[in-house]
Amino acid sequence: MRAARFHSGGEIRIDEVQIPMCPDGGILVQSLASGLCSGELMGWYMERKAVSGPHVLGHEVCGVVVESQDERFPVGVQVSPHHHAPCFECELCRIGQFVHCETWRKTKLDPGGMAEYFGVSQELLGDCWVTEGLDAVTATLVEPLACVAKQLRRLGYREGEKSAVIGLGVMGLLHALMMPGCTAFERNPGRIDWSVKSGVDARLPDTNERFDVVVVCPGSEDAFEFALTIANPGARIGLFAPLPPGKLGFDFERAYMQDLSLVNSYSCGPNDTQIALNWLKSGRIRGEQVVSHRISLSNLPEAYEQMKRGEILKPVVMFG
Protein backbone atom coordinates (compact mmCIF):
# COMPACT_ATOMS: atom_id res chain seq x y z
CA MET A 1 0.00 0.00 0.00
CA ARG A 2 1.00 3.65 -0.30
CA ALA A 3 1.77 5.95 2.63
CA ALA A 4 3.06 9.52 3.01
CA ARG A 5 6.27 9.60 5.03
CA PHE A 6 8.38 12.43 6.45
CA HIS A 7 12.05 11.73 5.76
CA SER A 8 14.91 13.32 7.71
CA GLY A 9 15.71 16.64 6.11
CA GLY A 10 12.06 17.55 5.61
CA GLU A 11 11.26 15.63 2.41
CA ILE A 12 7.76 14.17 2.06
CA ARG A 13 7.59 11.03 -0.07
CA ILE A 14 4.80 8.68 -1.09
CA ASP A 15 6.33 5.29 -0.31
CA GLU A 16 5.24 1.68 -0.71
CA VAL A 17 4.88 0.00 2.69
CA GLN A 18 3.29 -3.22 3.90
CA ILE A 19 -0.38 -3.35 4.81
CA PRO A 20 -0.49 -3.85 8.59
CA MET A 21 -2.02 -6.90 10.18
CA CYS A 22 -5.15 -6.49 12.26
CA PRO A 23 -3.82 -6.02 15.83
CA ASP A 24 -4.79 -8.58 18.47
CA GLY A 25 -8.07 -7.36 19.93
CA GLY A 26 -8.05 -4.36 17.60
CA ILE A 27 -9.29 -3.36 14.15
CA LEU A 28 -7.91 -2.82 10.66
CA VAL A 29 -9.21 0.29 8.91
CA GLN A 30 -9.27 1.26 5.24
CA SER A 31 -8.72 5.01 5.01
CA LEU A 32 -11.39 7.34 3.67
CA ALA A 33 -9.82 10.67 4.54
CA SER A 34 -6.86 12.04 6.52
CA GLY A 35 -6.17 15.66 7.39
CA LEU A 36 -2.74 17.27 7.48
CA CYS A 37 -2.12 18.64 10.98
CA SER A 38 -0.38 22.00 11.35
CA GLY A 39 1.84 20.39 14.00
CA GLU A 40 3.28 18.18 11.26
CA LEU A 41 4.69 21.31 9.65
CA MET A 42 7.06 22.03 12.58
CA GLY A 43 10.42 20.90 11.23
CA TRP A 44 12.21 20.58 14.59
CA TYR A 45 9.34 18.45 15.93
CA MET A 46 9.14 16.19 12.89
CA GLU A 47 12.91 15.70 12.76
CA ARG A 48 12.68 14.21 16.24
CA LYS A 49 10.13 11.69 15.01
CA ALA A 50 12.27 10.75 12.00
CA VAL A 51 15.42 10.00 13.99
CA SER A 52 14.76 6.26 13.87
CA GLY A 53 13.57 6.30 10.24
CA PRO A 54 10.89 7.79 7.97
CA HIS A 55 7.75 8.77 9.88
CA VAL A 56 4.26 8.14 8.43
CA LEU A 57 2.22 11.32 8.59
CA GLY A 58 -1.42 11.62 9.57
CA HIS A 59 -3.53 11.25 12.67
CA GLU A 60 -6.69 13.21 11.79
CA VAL A 61 -8.38 10.19 10.28
CA CYS A 62 -11.61 8.65 9.13
CA GLY A 63 -11.98 5.18 7.68
CA VAL A 64 -14.05 2.01 7.36
CA VAL A 65 -13.38 -1.09 9.44
CA VAL A 66 -12.36 -3.99 7.17
CA GLU A 67 -11.31 -6.46 9.88
CA SER A 68 -12.34 -6.46 13.52
CA GLN A 69 -11.60 -8.31 16.73
CA ASP A 70 -13.92 -6.10 18.79
CA GLU A 71 -17.70 -6.35 18.48
CA ARG A 72 -18.11 -2.62 19.23
CA PHE A 73 -16.54 -1.88 15.84
CA PRO A 74 -17.98 -4.30 13.28
CA VAL A 75 -16.75 -4.59 9.71
CA GLY A 76 -18.23 -1.84 7.55
CA VAL A 77 -18.64 0.80 10.26
CA GLN A 78 -17.04 4.25 9.86
CA VAL A 79 -14.63 5.22 12.64
CA SER A 80 -12.34 8.06 13.72
CA PRO A 81 -9.77 6.83 16.26
CA HIS A 82 -7.44 9.02 18.25
CA HIS A 83 -3.78 8.19 17.62
CA HIS A 84 -3.13 7.86 21.37
CA ALA A 85 -5.27 6.46 24.18
CA PRO A 86 -4.79 6.18 27.95
CA CYS A 87 -5.08 3.16 30.21
CA PHE A 88 -7.95 4.77 32.23
CA GLU A 89 -6.58 3.12 35.39
CA CYS A 90 -3.37 4.85 36.50
CA GLU A 91 -3.19 7.78 38.92
CA LEU A 92 -2.79 10.28 36.08
CA CYS A 93 -5.89 8.94 34.35
CA ARG A 94 -7.86 9.08 37.61
CA ILE A 95 -7.19 12.83 37.87
CA GLY A 96 -7.96 13.42 34.18
CA GLN A 97 -4.38 13.90 32.97
CA PHE A 98 -4.85 11.39 30.16
CA VAL A 99 -2.16 12.70 27.81
CA HIS A 100 0.53 12.08 30.45
CA CYS A 101 -0.41 8.44 30.98
CA GLU A 102 2.42 6.06 30.03
CA THR A 103 0.02 3.99 27.89
CA TRP A 104 -1.14 7.13 26.04
CA ARG A 105 2.44 8.00 25.15
CA LYS A 106 3.23 4.48 23.89
CA THR A 107 0.19 3.94 21.67
CA LYS A 108 -0.09 5.00 18.01
CA LEU A 109 -1.76 4.12 14.73
CA ASP A 110 0.06 1.49 12.66
CA PRO A 111 1.77 2.81 10.56
CA GLY A 112 -0.05 6.19 10.66
CA GLY A 113 -3.16 7.81 9.27
CA MET A 114 -1.78 9.06 5.96
CA ALA A 115 -1.81 5.54 4.54
CA GLU A 116 -4.29 3.44 2.61
CA TYR A 117 -4.82 1.13 5.61
CA PHE A 118 -3.97 1.49 9.29
CA GLY A 119 -4.23 -0.70 12.35
CA VAL A 120 -5.88 0.42 15.59
CA SER A 121 -4.65 -1.52 18.61
CA GLN A 122 -6.86 -2.81 21.41
CA GLU A 123 -5.50 -0.04 23.67
CA LEU A 124 -6.45 2.65 21.16
CA LEU A 125 -10.06 1.48 21.02
CA GLY A 126 -10.59 3.26 24.33
CA ASP A 127 -10.57 6.52 22.32
CA CYS A 128 -12.02 5.34 19.01
CA TRP A 129 -15.37 6.72 17.87
CA VAL A 130 -18.03 5.54 15.45
CA THR A 131 -18.67 8.49 13.14
CA GLU A 132 -21.58 7.17 11.08
CA GLY A 133 -23.72 10.10 9.96
CA LEU A 134 -20.76 12.43 9.45
CA ASP A 135 -19.18 12.89 6.04
CA ALA A 136 -15.61 11.65 5.93
CA VAL A 137 -14.02 15.12 5.79
CA THR A 138 -15.97 16.41 8.79
CA ALA A 139 -15.11 13.20 10.67
CA THR A 140 -11.38 13.96 10.30
CA LEU A 141 -11.96 16.98 12.56
CA VAL A 142 -12.70 14.91 15.68
CA GLU A 143 -9.10 14.97 16.92
CA PRO A 144 -8.17 18.60 16.07
CA LEU A 145 -11.48 19.90 17.41
CA ALA A 146 -10.91 17.89 20.60
CA CYS A 147 -7.63 19.79 21.04
CA VAL A 148 -9.66 23.01 20.86
CA ALA A 149 -12.11 21.62 23.43
CA LYS A 150 -9.23 20.91 25.81
CA GLN A 151 -7.73 24.39 25.39
CA LEU A 152 -11.07 26.09 26.09
CA ARG A 153 -11.71 23.82 29.07
CA ARG A 154 -8.30 24.49 30.59
CA LEU A 155 -8.78 28.22 30.08
CA GLY A 156 -12.15 28.14 31.80
CA TYR A 157 -13.53 29.96 28.77
CA ARG A 158 -17.11 31.19 29.05
CA GLU A 159 -19.06 32.32 26.02
CA GLY A 160 -19.48 36.10 26.08
CA GLU A 161 -16.08 36.88 27.59
CA LYS A 162 -14.04 39.47 25.72
CA SER A 163 -11.79 37.09 23.83
CA ALA A 164 -9.14 37.08 21.12
CA VAL A 165 -7.52 34.43 18.94
CA ILE A 166 -4.05 35.02 17.49
CA GLY A 167 -3.34 33.22 14.23
CA LEU A 168 -5.92 31.96 11.75
CA GLY A 169 -4.40 28.80 10.46
CA VAL A 170 -6.84 25.93 10.70
CA MET A 171 -6.49 25.56 14.48
CA GLY A 172 -6.95 29.27 15.07
CA LEU A 173 -10.01 29.22 12.84
CA LEU A 174 -11.47 26.29 14.78
CA HIS A 175 -10.94 28.21 18.02
CA ALA A 176 -12.53 31.34 16.59
CA LEU A 177 -15.58 29.40 15.37
CA MET A 178 -16.04 27.91 18.84
CA MET A 179 -15.66 31.32 20.55
CA PRO A 180 -18.62 33.36 19.24
CA GLY A 181 -17.97 37.10 19.25
CA CYS A 182 -14.20 36.80 19.62
CA THR A 183 -11.75 38.98 17.68
CA ALA A 184 -9.15 37.12 15.63
CA PHE A 185 -5.81 38.48 14.48
CA GLU A 186 -3.85 37.29 11.45
CA ARG A 187 -1.19 38.67 9.09
CA ASN A 188 -2.06 36.50 6.07
CA PRO A 189 -4.71 38.30 3.93
CA GLY A 190 -5.95 35.03 2.44
CA ARG A 191 -6.62 33.57 5.87
CA ILE A 192 -8.39 36.76 6.94
CA ASP A 193 -10.66 36.60 3.89
CA TRP A 194 -11.49 32.91 4.48
CA SER A 195 -12.27 33.54 8.15
CA VAL A 196 -14.45 36.58 7.46
CA LYS A 197 -16.50 34.50 5.01
CA SER A 198 -16.90 31.95 7.81
CA GLY A 199 -18.36 34.65 10.07
CA VAL A 200 -15.24 35.44 12.12
CA ASP A 201 -14.26 39.00 13.08
CA ALA A 202 -10.77 38.70 11.58
CA ARG A 203 -8.30 41.57 11.41
CA LEU A 204 -4.64 42.48 11.03
CA PRO A 205 -2.74 42.53 14.36
CA ASP A 206 -2.98 46.30 14.87
CA THR A 207 -5.16 47.22 17.82
CA ASN A 208 -5.40 49.11 21.10
CA GLU A 209 -8.09 46.79 22.43
CA ARG A 210 -7.52 44.59 25.45
CA PHE A 211 -8.98 41.14 26.11
CA ASP A 212 -9.72 38.87 29.06
CA VAL A 213 -9.04 35.59 27.23
CA VAL A 214 -6.38 35.25 24.53
CA VAL A 215 -5.59 32.05 22.62
CA VAL A 216 -2.18 31.97 20.93
CA CYS A 217 -2.14 29.42 18.13
CA PRO A 218 1.21 29.90 16.32
CA GLY A 219 4.28 28.53 18.05
CA SER A 220 6.21 31.79 17.74
CA GLU A 221 7.60 34.36 20.14
CA ASP A 222 6.11 37.19 18.07
CA ALA A 223 2.62 35.78 18.56
CA PHE A 224 3.21 35.34 22.28
CA GLU A 225 4.56 38.88 22.67
CA PHE A 226 1.50 40.23 20.86
CA ALA A 227 -0.69 38.32 23.30
CA LEU A 228 1.02 40.08 26.21
CA THR A 229 0.29 43.47 24.65
CA ILE A 230 -3.44 42.84 24.20
CA ALA A 231 -4.09 41.11 27.53
CA ASN A 232 -6.09 42.87 30.22
CA PRO A 233 -4.82 42.65 33.81
CA GLY A 234 -5.85 39.24 35.12
CA ALA A 235 -6.29 37.82 31.62
CA ARG A 236 -5.82 34.15 30.79
CA ILE A 237 -3.51 33.44 27.88
CA GLY A 238 -3.80 30.01 26.27
CA LEU A 239 -0.63 28.69 24.61
CA PHE A 240 -1.91 26.21 22.07
CA ALA A 241 1.33 25.32 20.26
CA PRO A 242 4.85 24.76 21.60
CA LEU A 243 7.69 27.09 20.77
CA PRO A 244 10.96 25.57 19.53
CA PRO A 245 13.14 24.07 22.28
CA GLY A 246 15.13 26.54 24.34
CA LYS A 247 14.49 29.36 26.75
CA LEU A 248 11.64 31.75 26.03
CA GLY A 249 12.75 35.34 26.41
CA PHE A 250 9.82 37.47 27.54
CA ASP A 251 9.06 40.12 30.11
CA PHE A 252 8.09 37.91 33.02
CA GLU A 253 7.80 40.95 35.32
CA ARG A 254 5.02 42.37 33.14
CA ALA A 255 3.16 39.04 33.21
CA TYR A 256 3.61 38.83 36.96
CA MET A 257 2.60 42.41 37.76
CA GLN A 258 -0.53 42.09 35.63
CA ASP A 259 -1.59 38.77 37.21
CA LEU A 260 -1.65 37.07 33.82
CA SER A 261 -2.33 33.32 33.73
CA LEU A 262 -0.40 31.35 31.10
CA VAL A 263 -2.23 28.12 30.28
CA ASN A 264 -0.58 25.42 28.15
CA SER A 265 -2.69 22.82 26.36
CA TYR A 266 -1.09 19.70 24.89
CA SER A 267 -3.13 17.38 22.65
CA CYS A 268 -6.42 15.98 24.01
CA GLY A 269 -7.92 13.06 25.90
CA PRO A 270 -11.02 10.91 25.44
CA ASN A 271 -13.16 13.36 27.42
CA ASP A 272 -12.26 16.03 24.88
CA THR A 273 -12.88 13.82 21.83
CA GLN A 274 -16.37 13.03 23.18
CA ILE A 275 -17.12 16.76 23.38
CA ALA A 276 -15.71 17.37 19.89
CA LEU A 277 -17.79 14.55 18.40
CA ASN A 278 -20.92 16.02 19.98
CA TRP A 279 -20.10 19.42 18.47
CA LEU A 280 -19.65 17.88 15.03
CA LYS A 281 -22.83 15.82 15.23
CA SER A 282 -24.79 18.91 16.27
CA GLY A 283 -23.49 20.79 13.21
CA ARG A 284 -21.56 23.46 15.09
CA ILE A 285 -18.57 22.80 12.83
CA ARG A 286 -18.61 21.44 9.27
CA GLY A 287 -15.71 20.20 7.21
CA GLU A 288 -16.13 22.80 4.47
CA GLN A 289 -15.66 25.63 6.99
CA VAL A 290 -12.02 24.76 7.59
CA VAL A 291 -10.90 22.34 4.86
CA SER A 292 -9.75 24.33 1.85
CA HIS A 293 -8.44 21.50 -0.37
CA ARG A 294 -9.43 17.88 -0.95
CA ILE A 295 -6.46 16.18 -2.58
CA SER A 296 -5.12 12.78 -3.58
CA LEU A 297 -2.29 11.12 -1.69
CA SER A 298 0.01 11.78 -4.65
CA ASN A 299 -0.56 15.51 -4.28
CA LEU A 300 0.30 15.61 -0.58
CA PRO A 301 4.02 16.52 -0.90
CA GLU A 302 3.12 19.67 -2.85
CA ALA A 303 0.21 20.53 -0.54
CA TYR A 304 2.47 20.05 2.48
CA GLU A 305 4.83 22.76 1.22
CA GLN A 306 1.92 25.04 0.27
CA MET A 307 0.38 24.76 3.73
CA LYS A 308 3.77 25.34 5.32
CA ARG A 309 4.15 28.56 3.30
CA GLY A 310 0.65 29.69 4.27
CA GLU A 311 -0.65 29.49 0.69
CA ILE A 312 -3.47 27.08 1.53
CA LEU A 313 -5.42 26.66 4.76
CA LYS A 314 -5.87 22.93 5.18
CA PRO A 315 -5.70 19.94 2.83
CA VAL A 316 -7.41 16.62 3.45
CA VAL A 317 -6.26 13.54 1.55
CA MET A 318 -9.17 11.61 0.07
CA PHE A 319 -8.58 7.89 -0.49
CA GLY A 320 -10.31 5.67 -3.03
Which band of pLDDT confidence, cut at 50, 70 and 90, is reported for residue 196?
very high
Given a cut of 90, whether residue 247 has pLDDT beyond it is: no
Kindly state whether residues 117 and 168 are assigned to the same domain: no
Kindly state whether residues 165 and 189 are assigned to the same domain: yes
Which band of pLDDT confidence, cut at 50, 70 and 90, is reported for residue 246?
confident
Average pLDDT over residues 105-132: 97
C-alpha distance from residue 135 to each of 19, 82, 138, 168, 208 (Å): 25, 17, 6, 24, 42
Kindly state whether residues 10 and 125 are assigned to the same domain: yes
β partners of residue 78: 64
Residues 17/115, Cβ–Cβ less than 8 Å: yes
Instruction: Specify if 186 maps to a domain.
Output: yes
Instruction: Specify if 273 maps to a domain.
Output: no
pLDDT digits (tens, 9 = 90+) for 19-42: 999 999 999 999 999 999 999 999
Kindly state whether residues 17 and 97 are assigned to the same domain: yes
- Note down the domain range covering 25: 2-140+291-318
Non-local (6+) Cβ contacts of 300 within 8 A are 4, 12, 14, 36, 57, 114, 315, 317
Kindly state whether residues 94 and 203 are assigned to the same domain: no
β partners of residue 118: 29
C-alpha to C-alpha distance for 272 and 149, rounded to whole angstroms: 6
Instruction: Specify if 148 maps to a domain.
Output: no
C-alpha to C-alpha distance for 98 and 227, rounded to whole angstroms: 28
Strands 163-166 and 261-264: unpaired
Kindly state whether residues 127 and 173 are assigned to the same domain: no
Given a cut of 70, whether residue 105 has pLDDT beyond it is: yes
C-alpha to C-alpha distance for 259 and 46, rounded to whole angstroms: 35
Instruction: Specify if 190 maps to a domain.
Output: yes
Instruction: Specify if 200 maps to a domain.
Output: yes
Residues 104/85, Cβ–Cβ less than 8 Å: yes
- The domain that holds 196 is classified in CATH as 3.40.50.720
Average pLDDT over residues 211-233: 95
C-alpha to C-alpha distance for 4 and 300, rounded to whole angstroms: 8
This prediction's pTM:
0.96
DSSP per-residue letters across the chain: -EEEEEETTTEEEEEE-PPPPPPTTSEEEEEEEEEPPGGGG-HHHHHHHTTTS-EE---EEEEEEEEESSTTS-TT-EEEE-S----S-SHHHHTT-GGGSHHHHH---BS-SSBSEEEE-TGGGGGEEE-TTS-HHHHTTHHHHHHHHHHHHHHT--TTS-EEEE--SHHHHHHHHTSTT-EEE-S-HHHHHHHHHTT-EEE-S-----EEEEEE-S-SHHHHHHHHHHEEEEEEEEE-SPPPSS-----HHHHHHTT-EEEE--S--HHHHHHHHHHHHTTSS-HHHH--EEE-GGGHHHHHHHHHTTSSS-EEEEP-
- The domain that holds 304 is classified in CATH as 3.90.180.10
pLDDT-wise least confident of 15-24, 139-148, 246-255, 295-304? 246-255
Mean pLDDT of the chain: 96
Q: What is the pLDDT of residue 245?
A: 82
Instruction: Specify if 76 maps to a domain.
Output: yes
Given a cut of 90, whether residue 8 has pLDDT beyond it is: yes
Kindly state whether residues 183 and 214 are assigned to the same domain: yes
Q: Structural domain tally of the chain?
A: 2
Q: What is the pLDDT of residue 252?
A: 81
Closest residue by Cα to residue 32 from 132, 126, 122: 132
pLDDT digits (tens, 9 = 90+) for 52-100: 899 999 999 999 999 999 999 999 999 999 999 999 999 999 999 999 9
Kindly state whether residues 166 and 221 are assigned to the same domain: yes
Which band of pLDDT confidence, cut at 50, 70 and 90, is reported for residue 257?
very high
Average pLDDT over residues 202-228: 96
Kindly state whether residues 201 and 160 are assigned to the same domain: yes
C-alpha to C-alpha distance for 7 and 46, rounded to whole angstroms: 9
